[in-house]
Structure 1
Amino acid sequence: MSFHAVKVLLLVLGMGWGLFLGAQEGSSAEDTDPPGDKAASEAVQEIIIRPEGNMMKYAVTEFTVKAGQKVRLIMDNIATNAAMIHNVVILQIGADIHQVGLAAIKAGAERGYIPDMEEVLYHTPLAKPGEKTQVEFIAPPPGDYPYICSYPGHFTLMFGTMHSVE
């Protein structure tokens, strides 16, 4: 075999081996997006809200999310007092916190103190001291959304604002 024929054979074998290895990586039409685009579309913004110790007060009284982005809201109840059961209830823009808070009391423990009202958009389950609960949702259109703790009586001191921006 001539030197030229050996070079061509090695080139063909090398190309074939490269194609074989490339096929083994499982590429498909779904994998053609640039890596950054796919990661951005699947990104989840995580927000952690804690009480201030054993007080009926959120340590975080406002946070900002991007409209249309997936959000994971976590209630991390670091309280140690058994009476300090908390959640986070996000309400419609302009909702009357007092009205929703009173309706939460009427909803009762069997409903987790979550009233059946259109003002309630999203909520974490109740978290006992030392527990974490969470909810995932798609951030609503731009605006300022109030949030409260709906455990009986807590809404008067535990409230804040979620800012949804473009």
Structure 2
Amino acid sequence: MNKLILVFAAAVAISCGDNKKEEKPAMQIGTQVEEAAPAQSSDSQVAEITITGNDQMKFDKSEIRVKAGQKVRLTLKHVGKMDKTVMGHNWALLTKDADMAAVGQASAVASETDYIPTDMQDKFIAYTKMLGGGETDTIEFDAPEPGTYTFMCTFPGHYALMNGKFIVE
């Protein structure tokens, strides 16, 4: 547990070291939600989703909505600059019964399997590969049954900040 706290503290310290001022709107209303619209291709049943992760341990979306059974094509873009050994990101969709904290803690010590613990494979519906700054990965999967699911980054300590709701209608 002490190692997990140390890794998390180091990740926070690294991500807070950027002194660049970021322009923000005067007022922000709500959070960004991506409604999965049908793709503009011959396959109108595919939900095209793009989500980004940055060097400040943030996804640009906290909620994604799709239809039950819909084919989902999700693209994760790491828009930061740091290497995946320092600030890696992935996108993992958990089953309804998965405990995010338990998965996050088990993932922290699963470096040899890209931070996807082999003894918890049954807690994942889908996941991307681990990415470093400037990298992109696209996965396809079928949306599960209706309900609210959790998505997260499984890099050590990131799940506390990099998570959201995947709502299946």
Fold match by TM threshold 0.5: yes
Unmatched runs of 5 consecutive residues or more in structure 2: 1-41
Structure 2 CA distance for aligned equivalents of residues 80 and 148 of structure 1: 20
Q: Distance in 2 between matches of 1:50 and 1:85?
A: 12
Counterpart CA distance in 2 for 1:58 and 1:142 is: 23
* TM-score computed with the length of structure 2 as normaliser: 0.69
Q: CA deviation at 1:119?
A: 1.2
Q: Distance in 2 between matches of 1:137 and 1:147?
A: 14
Please name the residue that 1:111 is paired with. Answer: 113
Output the amino acid matched with 2:137: T
Which of these two proteins has the greater Rg computed from alpha carbons?
Answer: 1
SS state at 1:50 partner: strand
User: What is the CA deviation profile of residues 50-102 of structure 1, one whole-angstrom value per residue up to 9, with x for unaligned ones?
Assistant: 02x42111111111011111101111110113332100010011421110001
Supply the distance in 1 between the matched residues of 2:117 and 2:49 (Cα, whole angstroms): 23
Identity of aligned residues (%): 39
Aligned residue for 1:49, secondary structure, equals strand
Matches of 1:67 and 1:57, distance apart in 2: 27
Aligned mates of 2:89, 2:101 — CA distance in 1: 17
1:131 has 2:119 as partner: no
Cα deviation code 1:21-63 (max 9, x no counterpart): xxxxxxxxxxxxxxxxxx46x6321111102x42111111111
Tell me which protein shows more helix as a share of its residues. Answer: 1
CA contact (8 A) 2:82 2:132 kept: no
Match of 1:80 in 2: 81
**What corresponds to 1:50 in structure 2?**
52
- Separation in 2, partners of 1:90, 1:75: 12
Conserved in 2, the CA contact under 8 Å of 1:94 and 1:146? Answer: no
Gaps of 5+ in 1: 1-38
TM-score, structure 1 as length reference: 0.70
Amino acid of the structure 2 residue aligned with 1:137: F
Which residue is equivalent to 2:26?
Answer: none
C-alpha distance in 2 between matches for 1:104 and 1:50: 20
Aligned: 1:149 with 2:153 = yes
SS at match of 2:109: helix
